[in-house]
Structure 1
Amino acid sequence: MSEYDLKRTILDPSIPYVGTILGGLEPGTMVVIHGTVPNDADRFQIDFQCGSSTSPRSDVALHFNPRFKGWNWGQIICNTLQNGSWGWEEKTYPMPIAPGKPFEVIFLVLPHKFQVSSNGKFLLSYKHRINLDKIDTLGIYGQVKINTIGFVSETLQQSTPPISLAASLLDGCLKVPCTQSLSNALGPGRTVLVKGEVNKNAKSFAIDLKPSGSRTIALHLNPRMKEKVFVRNSYLYDSWGDEERQLQEFPFFPDLYFELLIYCETHQYKVAVNGHHVLDYRHRFKDLSMINEVSVHGDVQVYEIRAW
């Protein structure tokens, strides 16, 4: 599974808060903010800035601005300020942050965008309009109480040397459809990781665990974006079995960067997406020692496939 390496934490900062991001931002960094919005709040903002100047105002690479009153209440406005001028607004709603309630916002820094989640759910993606290496300051303003600001780097915990999120993303994509052999066959205690990104106009994609050279599919994971269903099945004896579709919440969205973990137990697989357990699937193909291949196809980019 993943472990988080805490680089720096700021506790109970005064608002407005303007602080240097030590070492800047790089792909794989997460900025985790916990706070509470007052009951009478109008709005607040979190800005990833290129400096701390107020006159002239520093460029803002990402302006994250939840609004609770006015004609655009219930929306999060995102934008970029360059050379004193705002660009086009990107609006997201409905909004999971509510006055009078605590919140968590996580900004995951990717090479080409910020991916933002709130209260454990994907919220939005925002493509970079300013180069990451120019961002060196975090600013928080408005009607909000901040409890903690954490800067986190993510490293996979494996028996092999750690592979950073940044390295796998910067190495580029695997060609889809893609098939990768496992160095050791699957069995209880083994984990398969797939890092990828859902295409913008995706309809569906699939991740299959199977024996090489066989039509058999031991585990077929098939998110379908239009229907918002996550189908699980097995292909045995040249036919599909009964689909499993039950799920509390669909975890995939267009443009979503994801890390999908499949953990093999004696009687079932456990599947997690971006650190959250989403489903269990009991083994229908019992000879786990024959499962030695992962294939991915459909409307998705694949950055890494790894097993341990």
Structure 2
Amino acid sequence: MTFEVHNMDMTHGDTLKIKGRIADNCSRFAVNLGSCADHIALHFNPRFDDVTIVCNSMCNGSWESEQRDSNFPFSKGVEVKIQITFKGENFEIKLPNGHVIVFPNRLALGKITYLGVDENFKMVSFKFG
């Protein structure tokens, strides 16, 4: 991860809006939400090599089972907006083309305090509320 925020206060009903540019040579990028870097409630991971989006969660450093979505509206070298709404029991990820992925809050976190974004997604702006 190259961009991290600790001490966020994202609670049920809040929406995180992320705008960034996908690296020209990227094979995948990731946005992580959780309580820390090894306790991730949502790992959002578009993969160009598989042309799929993988969502997963990590509990105490161990990955759980992947959920895959074949709706892939991403292109390398392009600026995109992604919206993630924390619904308490799940996350709703709105992709740039309007498609929504729903992923369960497997860790049953009541609050999201950590955001991590890797170097293949150059963050332009983010806000939540």
Q: How does 1:119-198 map to 2 (within 5 A)?
A: 119=96, 121-133=98-110, 135-152=112-129
Alignment partner of 1:59 out of 39, 43, 56: 39
User: Structure 2 stretches of 5 or more lacking a match?
Assistant: none
Identity of aligned residues (%): 25
SS at match of 1:25: strand
Q: TM-score, normalised by structure 2?
A: 0.90
Which of 1 and 2 has higher RCO (CA within 8 Å, sep 6+)?
2
SS at match of 2:118: strand
Q: How does 1:1-308 map to 2 (within 5 A)?
A: 16-22=2-8, 24-52=9-37, 58-69=38-49, 73-119=50-96, 121-133=98-110, 135-152=112-129
After superposition, the C-alpha distances for 1:158-205 in whole angstroms (9 at most, x for unaligned) are xxxxxxxxxxxxxxxxxxxxxxxxxxxxxxxxxxxxxxxxxxxxxxxx
- The alpha-carbon distance between structure 1 residues 108 and 120, as it changes in their structure 2 partners (threshold 3 A), is farther
SS at match of 2:11: coil
User: Structure 1 stretches of 5 or more lacking a match?
Assistant: 1-14, 53-57, 153-308
Measured on the aligned residues, the alpha-carbon RMSD in Å equals 1.6
Q: Indicate the structure (1 or 2) with the bigger Cα radius of gyration.
A: 1
For 1:120 and 1:68, the matched residues in 2 are separated by: 16
Between Structure 1 and Structure 2, the one with more strand by share is: 2
Q: TM-score, normalised by structure 1?
A: 0.40
Aligned to 1:294: none
Number of positions where the alignment pairs a residue of Structure 1 with one of Structure 2: 129
TM-superposed deviation, 1:94: 2.4
